[in-house]
């Protein structure tokens, strides 16, 4: 409940009137302030009181109060506008505060030089219209009730007055003395009351008290808990189906590759730690939804024309593609195909190999070099150099371990101008892509980017493996 802690007006020119239920849970209040003390204000004050008393404010529900306040204040504005036009007042507008109380909630509208704030044990903060620099505002900007010859702007504010909180409505001449200087909740009302002899003061202090009826916390029954669990599982399964292509499996697979790339571990050490942690998770997910790859398609993702002849099959890391052209080694960034770095050797490059975060370059004179992905050399060794035939194309197997989107292995069969994806067990042709020019070389399967890199005529082509589950 709430209670009126303190109020001050200057009747008959300025007034504060309230009508609260006995328990302080419902009611209304209205306040009016004017800088002049003309006898005409007695008539204005009486009309405002009667308008509020004769209204249906006590029957308005919480859901309709905002709409009601806007309609009521606009009608009141036009009544006051007609009366003030015939008055001799210098300022033909009123500062008015109207509030509606529902338990601990206050809905209020403010006009002119009445400003509001709420205070707890920590600080006093203004709410609603800004009181600062109001002396420099025009009468139009002050939004005085009855001043403008048009519908007035009615902004309904809503504030919760909790226990040990106090709501204040003050005339503008008191705001700077209270809002900017005082922060003690215990003696707030005594401090404000010390301005009783101040010229033409007005204030209203509302105190938040403890609730008479505390709402009971509802406990969920077994049916509600079971329903919630079923909805959650259904939602997770739906998300899994929407994303498709076994995105969790792909995420774990790419995580393994990134860990292997960034950590100096042996290849057999990396996946085991992840597999142990995710074994049970994947087992239960497969029980929920385990769909095989129903649609496989080869598609050209991008192509780049090369100004030189490639003489070795492309190799790659997570971010980089490496090409050999006679005695030149070239590194390109995968995403934008920009040249990262280039190196030249005295002899022809026979073959390239990338593994364990190291690019091995084998030359025709049996010299081998080890490079990091950024092009920094880390070792040099004399090794019998293997020779890679750029024109040799052989089948390549892609297993579910390399691409988690697959439920079983498929075979890539390249030829002079055609690349085919084949189900070797059933002999089924799953997808085919044909080129007009000759295919000179096809890389291994990039199981991070899910693609191949082919040397076709004088270009480098990225061929994506699209799998729809």
19 and 121 share one domain: yes
Instruction: Kindly report each contact of residues 361-369 with a partner whose C-beta sits within 8 Å and lies 24 or more positions away, as own/partner.
Output: 361/324, 361/329, 362/386, 363/327
Q: Which residue has the higher pLDDT, 261 or 277?
A: 261
Mean pLDDT confidence for 436-440: 90
Domain C-terminal end among 389, 413, 447: 389
350 and 423 share one domain: no
269 and 298 share one domain: no
Question: Residue 266: which pLDDT band, with cuts at 50, 70 and 90?
Answer: very low
203 and 321 share one domain: no
Question: Residue 247: which pLDDT band, with cuts at 50, 70 and 90?
Answer: low
Q: What is the pLDDT of residue 391?
A: 60
**pTM of the shown model:** 0.47
Distance CA 463, CA 419 (A): 10
176 and 192 share one domain: yes
Question: Residue 76: inside a domain, yes or no?
Answer: yes
Mean pLDDT confidence for 245-258: 68
Question: Residue 47: inside a domain, yes or no?
Answer: yes
Q: What is the pLDDT of residue 268?
A: 47
Q: What is the pLDDT of residue 187?
A: 83
CB neighbour class for 357 (10 Å; exposed up to 12, middle 13-18, buried from 19): middle
CA end-to-end span of the chain, whole Å?
60
171 and 121 share one domain: yes
18 and 144 share one domain: yes
Distance CA 181, CA 383 (A): 85
Q: Which two tokens stand for residue 306?
A: 């090369």
- Collapsing DSSP to helix, strand or coil, 140 comes out as helix
Rounded to the nearest 10 degrees, how much is the dihedral formed by the CA atoms of 185, 186, 188, 191?
-140
Structural domain boundaries, residue 323: 312-389
Mean pLDDT confidence for 336-346: 90
**Residues forming a β-bridge with 105:** 102, 160
Question: Residue 215: inside a domain, yes or no?
Answer: no
Distance CA 322, CA 279 (A): 35
Question: Residue 217: inside a domain, yes or no?
Answer: no
Q: Which two tokens stand for residue 101?
A: 């109380």
457 and 382 share one domain: no
Which region among 40-54, 180-194, 223-237 has the lowest average model confidence (pLDDT)? 180-194
Q: Residues 14-39: pLDDT tens digits?
A: 999 999 888 778 999 999 999 998 88
Which region among 1-5, 183-187, 200-204, 274-278 has the lowest average model confidence (pLDDT)? 274-278
Question: Residue 220: inside a domain, yes or no?
Answer: no
353 and 446 share one domain: no
Q: Residues 151-182: pLDDT tens digits?
A: 999 999 999 998 888 899 999 989 888 887 77
Torsional sign, CA 305, 309, 311, 317: negative
Domain C-terminal end among 178, 208, 238: 208
What is the residue-averaged pLDDT of the chain?
A: 84
Distance CA 35, CA 91 (A): 8
Domain C-terminal end among 208, 243, 264: 208
Question: Residue 130: inside a domain, yes or no?
Answer: yes
202 and 232 share one domain: no
296 and 319 share one domain: no
Distance CA 199, CA 6 (A): 18
Question: Residue 90: inside a domain, yes or no?
Answer: yes
Whether the per-residue pLDDT at 385 is higher than 60: the answer is yes
Q: What is the pLDDT of residue 335?
A: 85
| Sequence-distant (≥ 6) Cβ neighbours of residue 353 within 8 angstroms | 315, 359, 360, 362
Q: What is the pLDDT of residue 244?
A: 59
Question: Residue 218: inside a domain, yes or no?
Answer: no
Q: What is the CATH number of the domain that holds 369?
A: 2.40.10.480
Count up the domains in the chain and report the number.
4
Q: What is the pLDDT of residue 4?
A: 87
Distance CA 60, CA 44 (A): 25
CA angle, 287 as apex, 284 and 290 as ends, to 5°?
115
Mean pLDDT confidence for 267-279: 45
Q: Residues 178-221: pLDDT tens digits?
A: 887 777 777 888 888 999 888 889 999 998 887 655 556 667 77
Question: Residue 359: which pLDDT band, with cuts at 50, 70 and 90?
Answer: very high
Closest CA to 410 of 448, 257, 420, 290: 420
**Residues forming a β-bridge with 441:** 455
* Helices 222-243 and 270-288: angle between axes, nearest 10 degrees: 110
Whether 300 contacts 452, CB under 8 Å: no
Closest CA to 154 of 91, 41, 65: 65
363 and 248 share one domain: no
Q: What is the CATH number of the domain that holds 101?
A: 3.60.40.10
């Amino acid at each position: 409940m709430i209670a009126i802690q303190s109020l001050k007006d200057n009747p008959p020119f300025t007034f504060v009137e309230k009508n609260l239920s006995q328990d302080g849970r419902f009611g209304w209040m209205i306040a009016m302030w004017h800088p002049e003390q003309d006898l005409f204000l007695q008539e204005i004050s009486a009309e405002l009181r009667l308008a509020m008393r004769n209204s249906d404010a006590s029957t308005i529900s919480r859901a309709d109060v905002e709409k009601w306040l806007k309609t009521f204040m606009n009608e009141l504005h036009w009544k006051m506008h007609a009366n003030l036009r015939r008055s001799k007042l210098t300022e033909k507008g009123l500062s008015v505060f109207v509030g509606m109380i529902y338990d601990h909630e206050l809905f209020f509208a403010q006009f002119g030089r009445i400003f509001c704030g709420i205070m707890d044990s920590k600080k006093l903060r203004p709410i609603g219209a800004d009181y600062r620099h109001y002396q420099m505002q025009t009468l139009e900007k002050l939004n005085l009730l009855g001043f403008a010859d048009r519908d007035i702007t009615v902004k309904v504010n809503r504030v919760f007055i909790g226990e040990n909180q106090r709501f204040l409505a003050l005339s503008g001449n008191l705001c700077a003395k209270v809002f900017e200087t005082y922060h003690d909740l215990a003696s707030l009302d005594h401090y404000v009351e010390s301005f009783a002899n101040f010229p033409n003061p007005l204030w209203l202090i509302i105190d938040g008290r403890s609730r008479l009826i505390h709402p009971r916390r509802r406990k969920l029954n077994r049916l509600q808990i079971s329903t919630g669990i079923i909805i959650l599982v259904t939602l997770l399964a739906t998300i899994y189906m929407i994303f498709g292509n076994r995105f969790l499996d792909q995420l774990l697979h790419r995580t393994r590759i990134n860990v292997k790339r960034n950590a100096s571990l042996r290849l057999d050490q990396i996946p085991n730690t992840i597999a142990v942690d995710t074994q049970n998770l994947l087992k239960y997910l497969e029980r929920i939804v385990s769909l095989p790859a129903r649609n496989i398609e080869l598609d050209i993702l991008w192509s780049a024309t090369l100004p030189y002849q490639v003489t070795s099959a492309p190799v790659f890391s997570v971010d980089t593609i490496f090409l050999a052209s006679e005695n030149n080694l070239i590194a390109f960034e995968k995403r934008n195909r920009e040249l990262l770095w280039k190196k030249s050797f005295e002899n022809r490059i026979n073959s390239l190999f990338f593994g364990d975060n190291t690019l091995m370059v084998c030359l025709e004179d049996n010299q081998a070099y080890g490079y990091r992905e950024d092009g920094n050399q880390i070792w040099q060794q004399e090794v019998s150099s293997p020779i890679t035939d750029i024109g040799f194309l052989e089948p390549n197997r892609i297993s579910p371990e390399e691409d988690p989107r697959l439920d079983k292995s498929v075979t890539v069969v390249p030829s002079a101008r055609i690349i085919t994806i084949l189900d070797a067990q059933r002999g089924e042709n799953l997808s085919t892509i044909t080129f007009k020019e000759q295919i000179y070389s096809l890389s291994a399967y990039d199981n991070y980017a899910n693609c191949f890199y082919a040397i076709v005529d004088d270009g480098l082509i990225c061929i994506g493996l699209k799998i729809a589950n």
